[in-house]
Amino acid sequence: MASSLVVPIAVWHNFPNLHTTCLISRWPHVFAGQNDGTIWVFSLSAGDNGEFELSYKLLLLGHGTRVVAMCLATTETDSVSKTDDVLISASEDGQIIRWNAADGRCLAANGQGFFGIPRSLHVRSNVTNDEPHKFVFCCGFENEITIMDANTLKVVRVWGGHEDWVTCTMFHDSETNNIRLLTYVHNGTMAVWFFDKEKKVISKEHKYDNLTLAGLEGNIITLRNHPAQPDVFLAISTKTAIIFQLSKSEAIPHISLKAEGESQFSSGGFIGESILYLSTTDGCICTYEIKAPEGVGAGNIVTSEGQLYYSSQLLDKYVVENDASPLQLGCMACVVQVPHEKLSDNVILQISFYNHSKQSAFLVRSIHRNVQNQSERSLEAKECARATCDSLWPIPPKNKSHSFGNVIATININDKHFAIGFDSGTIVVLPLSLALMHLASIDTLLQDKYGDKHQVIRHAHHGKVTSLYAPDEKVFGTSRLISGGQDGAVKIWNIEDGKLVATFTVHALPVKEFIEPAEQVGPRLRGCIVSIAMDNSAALISLEEMNCLYIIPGYPYSIKCIQWRNTEDYLIIAYQDDTALVWQMQTAHLDRKLTGSTATNVLADARWPLSQVNNILNDRPTTFKRMCTTFSVSSSNNRNARVPFIQVFAVNLRHLVSNMRSDAKNALQSSTSNGTTGNLSLSVDDSHIADLVPDDTQSVDWNTAKDSVRAQLYATIVSALMSWGIDEKLENTCVDRLGLQRLGPEVTVGLRGVEGNFSFMIPSKDETTYWKTSPILTASRLMAVVTLVRSMLSVSGLEDLSIELMTHYTTLLPDRIGSGYCFPSFLFLSKYWQDTSARALFASALCQMKDDEKKAVIEYWERFLPTSSDIESVGQQVMARATIILAIIGSNNPEALAPETRKETALSLTLLLSDTEQDISESKENTTSHGSISQVVAARLTASMELLSEGFSTWEVYIKSSEVLRTLFMYAGDSQASSLQINRTARTAIFHIANSHMPLVIGTLTYDMMNAQKMEDRLACMKVINMFARKRPQLLFSSIPRVVEAVVKTLDPNVPNVRDSVIQPATSILHELVRTYPFVDFHSASQKLAVGTPEGASIIYDLRTATRCLVLEGHTATVIALAFSPDGKWIITCSLHDANVFIWHANPGIFGILANSLSSVTGGGSKKNSERRPSAGSSQKPYKAFNFALTNPEQANMTPTQQLRDVEFVWSTNKNVKLRIHELVMRFNV
């Protein structure tokens, strides 16, 4: 469930001009979809004087084409408020995306949500505030309606069969508690349908057959139902707006309004129950009151046969003044109801955006309903704010550098350097750290202190630098930078010194893109790049030969892809009009032109490699395996006029820290190093990482590392992530010791959501705003900060600062931020539960949260536990997440969970463990290769293992502990485990449980080793015992006699099949026990095994017969050491507590036992010891006994670790033996 943490950091270096294509609002947010695919989120606020303000809040990056439809839905959440708003948006390519309204995080995405151009999105409008939406209906320029799950955006049904383009709206059927649908087909017919939300079945209501709407001019562009009356609707076409009612079997119009003159309606809707608003494309906004007939209450539509019709009264009309707010590209408007808790009056806000090619504008008007005068029921309109959109920008624009100009093109050359192209024709190459700090004020680089850290190539092109490209150094062998300009030239530069290598004037129009040939092409083509110009001409340039091989002329449509048929000597270029041109490479002439299905079939031939050409303006990468991935966002769909306004640096924190450490270590190892190293890559799979920054025991010297390029980038990223102005003393310490510096407000931190979609906070001078926005935003930033800070623990000289910073962000920050602080989201942290930073944040947040916040989290997630929910309705992933979150709470704070919740959580953990076991078994049956287990399954399994072990004392009373242990034994001893992480986690979990429940663990192990029905279960137990002996010998210390007895019993020759199967692992265990424990010894010639017990006896086993052949009882306390003599005739034992050493006959025979029982003990001991008699039941008496005294009496109470390290017998000859107890050495003769 953990993955590499990628932190997106944005640098805002320009202001975009907005071109709003759709608008929607719900207090306190306004969402503006743009022509370039971005979505801007604005925040509304009410002042003390009754004025309302509009301000920028978020930028959402997800769509690649124009945003054409949006709707707002409600979703459940684990916060005290119970629900959150979500935004669902659609672009004209059919992509549907779901966003969190508060922080902009992308929650779900469906790239094929609609096959056509969407026109509208609908959710059920008359649900209660605490009821989440379940379905989204999408319709548009297609004869189908797509029905999607509101949470996942998965298509649950495609409703086709309509005669023409169709639009719909849904309303609630109170009688059946189901959804009813009203559809309008563009041929003028209407119909009513029932939608069974359980079966997803749609059936037609036949009493509304041949339903039409009289008086409608043109096709409906908006269809909405009344918020209080389910059978009342508003239909808006470009020229007509009609409020009608479904009554009996017909549509009865009540109110009909027409657009004036050449105006056309663009949007409209209900405000409450009795107010209607309509907006037109030319900026006119009209507000009407829906007036009831005489004797009818407001908001109640008459349905009797003697129909009384409603009327409308114009209350307010606003027309934009073109001179003040220039209108050129249309207007979009919406309304929002101000909550009553904000103001005592009933206030409605009108928000309008007026599009202009140079400077778009906005308008906010407040409408106060005069509720005191019931006879007039008038509205009082007031203009609150009216200005251009750029006037809202929170940071003042910086003067454009006369030396460089606007940023036009950027490229990340490698993990260290960054190149920027300007509209002045200048190219600048600089370290990534400087780009992140100074991209918004690039002229700062002209200062002397940066003189040796960057290269400026002035007048690289005549006109703008329109495209930059950095070829793969592994393919081309050298570091090159390729630039394309407005002058149509392609230039190749040496990155090291900034010198021009070659110039190719191959295009008549500006260069817009570079691509590399596919990997499978021949060696000559592999060393080439393809430049593509605005006229869609292409040039193939060899970087090895420094020669232009081919120039392909332009074409009216954009290039879609290039197919390389090098062995056939053909090059096929496909265009967006489904045409493909076949060029002969030898003669460079056009061979043929393919169209339609012929072109499609040729391009579909998988034998030939393809190079895709990106025609999306704001295309974003989807993988982030590099240390730093960069891309820019532009505000125009016209590539020829694009101006980027934001540069994104997506930083992979694991790679950053690992590469910085590598640089520092290489610098220490090489005396000639200057603190920089080559580009290092990791072989780690980023899709599942147990710990984002693994602990490194080898210390790194910061003084050695701080001057490297990556260390500077590290310091810059920490500077960007820190909140400044909160703890001045700590911040000054970071500046002095780490070299951090406070970045400008134009640098903000964002969120990466589903499918690599991003959201970014708008620049703000108030650092606390970030921590008051949402729990997810808090958790994401805290994870990034703590992950980087924790990596400083392995840097010598920074350990204390690292601890101070972690304490600041995990413990002190809520108090420093004050009221409104959002505690980190448990949902987010649970994804990274295996990371140490996430655990620390989780525990800290849990301790500081208020009781009502904890209760809200617990109540929300306990409904999704596997024991409380249905997998078909909830989903396996949600149930696993609920189990993990509640198990984390139960492990850290058991008292927070009610007994019943603890029980359900414990059982859910065991279900998660057993269900995942079944998934793995099925995977092994269906596949033959290791590593085939999905990362999701492996993550769920490891999380359940860890949480079961860490909270075992809490869960033990509710679960079958032995069965859980057996499952862990299976994974720990599975040599064919599909994931090493699973194997390691199972072992760690066993050790964790054994720390406090060793009798249970050893009892289960020894019982199964002797009695398990399956041989693989016995072998797994043996591997676990061997693991204890090697890794945790202290835990096994008091259980060795029990383990030895169990191992010996498995070697019973009377059960030959078992003995043959376990002989090797049993031998391995006994070898490890003899090597590790001083009170276990083996004599190979006689096949005798001896073990000392805590009760003072020593037991000798004959491994040939797997029987106990001798019991030596003489000590009154634990036998701490024993050993056979080299010839096997003698065995010597020692106990520290009774301070005795006994020598015994190892093979006494029947007469030897009798003789020993009749003779007295001889030796150098005291009289007291010489008169000691063996205890009852002894098989024999010691041959000799010796008493000794310890120099330090405390040594008699050695810990198991000390005994394993400091005590041993060593036989020098068959008659002489040496006993070592720490530094005390004693010799004994037989």
Same domain, 778 and 825: yes
77: left (phi over 0), alpha (psi -120 to 50) or beta: beta
CATH of the domain at 1082: 2.130.10.10
User: Residue 923 above 70 pLDDT?
Assistant: no
Q: Give the model confidence (pLDDT) of 375-394 as tens digits.
A: 455 667 788 888 889 888 88
Does any domain span residue 689?
no
795, 825, 848: which is the final residue of a domain?
Answer: 848
User: Residue 308 above 70 pLDDT?
Assistant: no
The mean pLDDT value for 1200-1204 works out to 90
Same domain, 953 and 966: no
Closest-CA residue to 1042 (of 1079, 1091, 1084, 1076): 1091
pLDDT averaged over the chain?
A: 84
Six-digit token string for 886:
């509640």
User: Could you give the 3-state DSSP secondary structure of residue 1208?
Assistant: strand
Report the alpha-carbon angle 392-393-399, nearest 5: 130
Tally the domains of the chain: 4
User: Could you give the 3-state DSSP secondary structure of residue 288?
Assistant: strand
Q: Give the model confidence (pLDDT) of 956-994 as tens digits.
A: 999 999 999 999 999 988 766 556 888 899 999 999 999
Does any domain span residue 861?
yes
Same domain, 1025 and 1151: no
Q: Note the residue count of the chain.
A: 1230
In Å, what is the CA distance from 468 to each residue of 189, 418, 646?
A: 54, 11, 17
Does any domain span residue 993?
yes
Least confident segment among 265-274, 687-696, 1096-1105: 687-696
| Structure confidence at residue 705 (pLDDT) | 58
Q: Give the model confidence (pLDDT) of 287-298 as tens digits.
A: 888 887 766 655
Contacts of residue 73, Cβ cutoff 8 Å, sequence gap at least 6: 85, 86, 87, 88, 123, 132, 133, 136, 150
Same domain, 1155 and 1056: no
| Structure confidence at residue 281 (pLDDT) | 84
Same domain, 1018 and 916: no
User: Residue 398 above 70 pLDDT?
Assistant: no
Six-digit token string for 795:
């840097």
Structural domain span for residue 1032: 961-1061
Q: Which residue has better confidence, 318 or 3?
A: 318
The mean pLDDT value for 1016-1023 works out to 92
Six-digit token string for 735:
């500046």
Share of the chain above pLDDT 90, in %: 46
Q: In the structure, what pLDDT confidence band is assigned to residue 175 with cuts at 50, 70 and 90?
A: low
Six-digit token string for 608:
């030939």
Contact 417, 429 (CB under 8 A): yes
Contacts of residue 183, Cβ cutoff 8 Å, sequence gap at least 6: 145, 162, 166, 167, 168, 190, 191, 192, 193
Q: Which residue has better confidence, 313 or 639?
A: 313
Same domain, 874 and 966: no
- Kindly provide the b/e burial profile for residues 1166-1196, where b requires at least 16 CB atoms within 10 angstroms of the residue's own CB: eeebeebebeeebbbbbbbbbebeeeeeebe
Q: Give the model confidence (pLDDT) of 334-389 as tens digits.
A: 888 888 665 556 788 889 898 888 888 898 988 876 655 544 556 677 888 888 89
Environment class of 1211 (CB within 10 Å of its CB; exposed 0-12, middle 13-18, buried 19+): middle
Six-digit token string for 692:
């984002």
Does any domain span residue 694?
no
| Structure confidence at residue 3 (pLDDT) | 52
User: Could you give the 3-state DSSP secondary structure of residue 928?
Assistant: coil
Q: Residue 108's beta-bridge partner residues?
A: 98
List, in sequence order, every beta strand (DSSP E) within 678-807. Answer: 700-701, 747-752, 758-761, 795-796
Count of Cβ atoms closer than 10 Å to residue 1009 Cβ: 26
Does any domain span residue 614?
no
Same domain, 1209 and 1123: yes
Closest-CA residue to 1008 (of 1036, 1049, 1054): 1049
User: Residue 1171 above 50 pLDDT?
Assistant: no
Does any domain span residue 775?
yes
CA distance 810 to 1228: 61
Same domain, 808 and 909: no
Six-digit token string for 170:
């849904």
Contacts of residue 324, Cβ cutoff 8 Å, sequence gap at least 6: 386
Same domain, 1173 and 1207: yes
| Structure confidence at residue 875 (pLDDT) | 76
813, 848, 883: which is the final residue of a domain?
Answer: 848
- Which of 206-210, 479-483, 796-800, 833-837 tops mean pLDDT? 479-483
848, 867, 882: which is the final residue of a domain?
Answer: 848
What is the dihedral angle through the alpha carbons of 42, 46, 52, 54, rounded to the nearest 10 degrees?
Answer: -10
Same domain, 999 and 901: no
Q: In the structure, what pLDDT confidence band is assigned to residue 933 with cuts at 50, 70 and 90?
A: low
| Spacing of C-alpha 929 from chain mean position | 28
Q: Give the model confidence (pLDDT) of 125-170 as tens digits.
A: 655 545 678 899 999 999 999 999 998 999 999 999 888 899 999 8
- Which of 177-186, 538-547, 1146-1155 tops mean pLDDT? 538-547
CA distance 282 to 985: 65
Q: Give the model confidence (pLDDT) of 515-543 as tens digits.
A: 988 887 877 788 899 999 999 999 999 99
User: Residue 1071 above 70 pLDDT?
Assistant: yes
Same domain, 779 and 906: no
What is the dihedral angle through the alpha carbons of 635, 640, 643, 646, rounded to the nearest 10 degrees?
Answer: 60
Q: Give the model confidence (pLDDT) of 739-785 as tens digits.
A: 899 998 899 999 999 998 999 999 988 889 999 999 999 999 999 99
| Structure confidence at residue 1177 (pLDDT) | 40
Same domain, 1049 and 1089: no
The mean pLDDT value for 869-873 works out to 70
Q: Residue 579's beta-bridge partner residues?
A: 595
Does any domain span residue 106?
no
CA distance 492 to 502: 5
Strands 190-196 and 178-185, bridge-based pairing: antiparallel
> What phi, psi does 446 have (nearest 5°)?
-75, -10
- Kindly provide the b/e burial profile for residues 10-24, where b requires at least 16 CB atoms within 10 angstroms of the residue's own CB: bbbbbebbbbbbbbb
Contacts of residue 65, Cβ cutoff 8 Å, sequence gap at least 6: 37, 91, 92, 93, 95, 616
Q: Which residue has better confidence, 294 or 921?
A: 294
**pTM higher than the cut 0.85:** no
